[in-house]
Chains A and B, each alone.
Chain A
Amino acid sequence: MTRHWQWRYWPLKAKLLFLTLSTSTLGIVLVCASLIVVENKSYQRQLESELHVIAGILAEQSAAALVFEDNNQLTSILSSLRRIETIRQVCVFDASGGVMSALNSEREESCPDINYAQPMGFSDNYYRLLQPVTLDDETVGHLYLISDLKALRAHIQTFIFIALSIGALIQLGLVFVALKLQRVVSEPILALSGTAERIAQEHDYSIRAPVSGQDELGRLGSTFNDMIETIQQQNRRILESRDSLERIVENRTSQLSLANKELEAFSYSVSHDLRQPLRAIEGFGQALEEDCEGQLNDTGKDYLRRIRAASVRMGNLIDGLLVLSRVSRQPLENQRFNLSDMLQEITEELNDIHSPLPTDVCIQSDVWLVGDDRMLRIAFQNLLENAWKYSAKEEKRVIDVSATSEANYITIAVKDNGVGFDMRYVSKLFVAFNRLHAPSEFSGTGIGLATVSRVIRRHSGDIFATSDVGAGATFYVKLPILPDGH
């Protein structure tokens, strides 16, 4: 709480008020102080001159009485001073310094010996003066007068009281005036700051700050408004361009999905429709081989065998295309399943089919995934088949499947010790009908990895591969970890 007493936490109004009032207080105090000092001086001077006049008159009056040594007359002259309360003592000395007559108020004080130097002027709350009494330029005696300064003190006290009272009144008036006047400065600033805050909170750039006057505050206000105007225009432009972009994207997306659908429908129907003539070729080829084999020479038999092999390969291609089309169109049905078990089954199937090579397959156990298990089976079957196929020419087949999870992703690595591929062509790896090896080396349709890629992508995952030629390849499948049942 005490922090709020610090200067920088003060509101602007309070600061302005404080500055105005402290300046005026300083001014008033200085004026009062100087007035008091001046008044004190002038009152002292006035007192001094009054006392000198009194002493002068007295000296003139008492000159005759002094030379004629008429004490009664002197006493009556001096007694006229009794009415002046501040005069404490008056002494009349003759020419040789003897006391001729004295007037004392209250306390009886003996007249000083004027043959010795006495302190004169203002000292110790008294004013003392020694006036020579002259007659024809001859000093015939002296008049000694002491006045106390009670009147001066009382006057100055009254003056201080009045000065301070007037000062306080003026200050009170100034508080009122400052309260009114600080608005002239603070209100445009407060309005500006309020407008800025509203704009920041409501994000409404149509709000404008009120502009008053042509001074710096007025210019600040109009500059602020200009800036807001610019922001508003830019905002509008951004929104417009965003809207148009959205429209374009929407347009393109719908066009694209339409094209995709058409393409899928086309590829499905093509694949499906191609089967009929292929089945005819295959069927009649078989019939030809079985029924007319005797009529064909070796060349004819060879041609027939080639036709049948080609039709089998084409059947495989069509199957692959149908699978690819299916994994593209089929809706995903996510569920949790044990990948390790699935991979184990696939391995056993592969082992049953191709057995001649000693094979060492290591699969990390208890890897669980959430996804469409039918599609993912197709994907991993393809990957394992590839590993199997491309390591067929090694002395011993070594396949390793491991999984690592990080953040929201699980990465499954399928590593083989096969021929590998050239990393320069890695970009063509997952594109349909692109093959990095000649069909004579390794059989294949060129659709397998495209299908894998399609499945993984439909699971919002990613697939990539690393390899060195002759040192095996590793395929990484990176899948998001989905919550169970989705």
Chain B
Amino acid sequence: MSSNTAGGYFLPLLKYFVALLLCAGLLSAQASVRSEYEVKAAFLYNFTRFISWTEQPDNKAALKVCVIGDTPFGNLLQPLAGRTSQGRALEITNPDNIAAKQGCNVVFVSESESRNLPAIIAQAEAQKIITISDIPNFVDSGGIIGYVKQGNVIRFEINLLAANAVGLNINSRLLELASRVIR
């Protein structure tokens, strides 16, 4: 009798405890695994640190990073603003159209702009802009750096030909890390 009474109390308590533990585990797992765009935002900043221009008119000026189209980053890029890359402060803008992206040094092309891709790439090439995107096969379309997803891990590809055309020096360390380099 006494054991029954004890079980009656104990069982719900245990369930509650297990649930609590699971919640805590999930929370901690989410804390350690960052979201895809968090990683991509960090990568975006890091790309700028390994790429330089052969002809740099003013290397003290701010490095302008433009996101074209609907931004998938939300406000994840905001922490990057003000950080420096190779001595240049980062400036994050989200111009409405391609025409307004005057003065951009780095351009992230969101998926929403995949139809305008050839035009954007042509213009970027002319203005010596680094193009980055997570549009599939972006580098094959003439883009310079494209995100790819290998399982759960975010990697990237580099079109060295396009980069050379724009007059970029890509650090060999970055090239080593690329999952594919078109050259």
A99 to chain B, nearest CB (A): 13
Select from chain B the residue with minimum beta-carbon distance to A71.
Answer: B153
Which residues between 53 and 104 of chain A lie within 8 Å of chain B, taking CB atoms? 61, 63-65, 67-70, 73
- For window 98-137 of A, CB contacts with B under 8 Å fall at 135-136
Q: Do the beta carbons of A136 and B173 come within 8 Å of each other?
A: no
Q: How far is the CB of A69 from chain B (nearest CB, A)?
A: 8
Segment at the interface with A among B8-16, B83-91, B114-122, B134-142: B83-91
Min CB distance, B146 to chain A, in Å? Answer: 14
* A68 engages B43 (CB within 8 Å): yes
**Chain B interface: which size bin?**
10 to 19
Interface centre among A63, A65, A69, A73 (most CB of B within 10 A): A69
Chain A residue nearest to B176 (CB atoms) is: A73
Contact B86 A64 (CB under 8 A): no
Q: Are B85 and A136 in contact (CB under 8 A)?
A: yes
Is the beta-carbon distance between B176 and A64 smaller than 8 angstroms? yes
In the assembled complex, which residues on chain B have CB atoms less than 8 Å from the CB atom of A136?
Answer: 49, 84-87
Chief secondary structure at chain B's binding surface: helix
Q: Which chain A residue has the least Cβ–Cβ distance from B39?
A: A69
Encoded as 1 (CB less than 8 Å from any B CB) or 0, chain A from 35 to 58 comes to 000000000000000000000000
B53 contacts the other chain (CB 8 A): no
Inter-subunit contact B173/A64 (CB<8 Å) = yes
Instruction: State A135–B87 Cα separation when bound (angstroms).
Output: 11
Contact A63 B85 (CB under 8 A): no
Determine whether B123 belongs to the interface, using a CB cutoff of 8 Å to chain A. no
- Minimum C-beta distance from A476 to chain B (A): 137
Determine whether B46 belongs to the interface, using a CB cutoff of 8 Å to chain A: yes
Shortest Cβ distance from residue A94 to the other chain B in the assembled complex, whole angstroms: 11
| B174: chain A residues within 8 A (beta carbon) | 64, 68
Q: Which of A64, A69, A70 contacts B50 (CB 8 A)?
A: A64
Q: What 0/1 pattern do residues 36 to 73 of B give for CB contact below 8 A with A?
A: 00010011001001100000000000000000000000
Q: Is B177 an interface residue (CB 8 A)?
A: yes
Interface residues of A in 156-184 (CB under 8 A from B): none
- Report the Cα distance A65→B177, complex, angstroms: 7
Q: Which residues of B contact A70 (CB under 8 A)?
A: 155, 177
Closest A residue to B87 using CB positions:
A136
Nearest residue, chain A, Cβ from B42: A67
Q: Are the C-beta atoms of A73 and B177 separated by less than 8 Å?
A: yes
Chain B residue nearest to A138 in the complex (CB): B84
B49, A67: Cβ atoms closer than 8 Å:
yes
Query: Cβ of A135 and Cβ of B177 under 8 Å apart?
Result: no
Minimum C-beta distance from B86 to chain A (A): 6
Among A64, A65, A73, chain B packs the most CB atoms within 10 A around the CB of A64
Checking B42, B85, B87, B173 against A65 with a beta-carbon cut-off of 8 angstroms, the contacting residue is: B173
Establish whether residues B171 and A64, one from each chain, have CB atoms under 8 Å apart when the complex forms.
yes
Q: Tell me which residues across on chain A come within 8 A of B156, comparing CB atoms.
A: 68
Q: Which interface residue of A67, A68, A69, A136 has the most chain B CB atoms within 10 A?
A: A68
Q: Report yes or no: B49 in contact with A61, Cβ–Cβ below 8 A.
A: no
> Is A67's CB under 8 angstroms from B46's CB?
yes
Is the pair A64, B177 in contact by a Cβ cutoff of 8 Å?
A: yes
CB-CB under 8 A from A135, the residues of chain B are: 49
* Residues on the A chain within 8 Å of B42, using CB: 67
Whole-angstrom distance from the CB of B174 to the nearest CB of chain A? 6
**In the bound complex, do residue A61 and residue B173 qualify as a contact, i.e. CB atoms below 8 Å apart?**
yes
Beta-carbon nearest neighbor of A65 in chain B: B177
The residue of chain A having its C-beta at the shortest distance from the C-beta of B50 within the complex is A64
Quote the shortest CB–CB distance from B57 to chain A (angstroms).
20
Residue of A whose beta carbon sits closest to that of B173? A64
**Chain A neighbourhood of B176, CB < 8 A:** 64-65, 73
Complex Cα spacing A67 to B174, Å: 10
Contact with B along A350-374 (1 / 0, CB 8 A): 0000000000000000000000000
Asked if B177 and A68 sit within 8 Å, CB to CB, the answer is: yes
Q: List 17 A-B contacts (CB under 8 A).
A: A61-B173, A64-B46, A64-B50, A64-B173, A64-B174, A64-B177, A65-B173, A65-B176, A67-B42, A68-B156, A68-B177, A69-B39, A70-B177, A73-B177, A136-B49, A136-B84, A136-B87
Partner-B contacts on A (CB < 8 A): 61, 63-65, 67-70, 73, 135-136
Pairs A-B, 8 closest by C-beta atoms = A64-B173, A67-B46, A70-B177, A68-B177, A73-B177, A64-B174, A64-B177, A136-B86
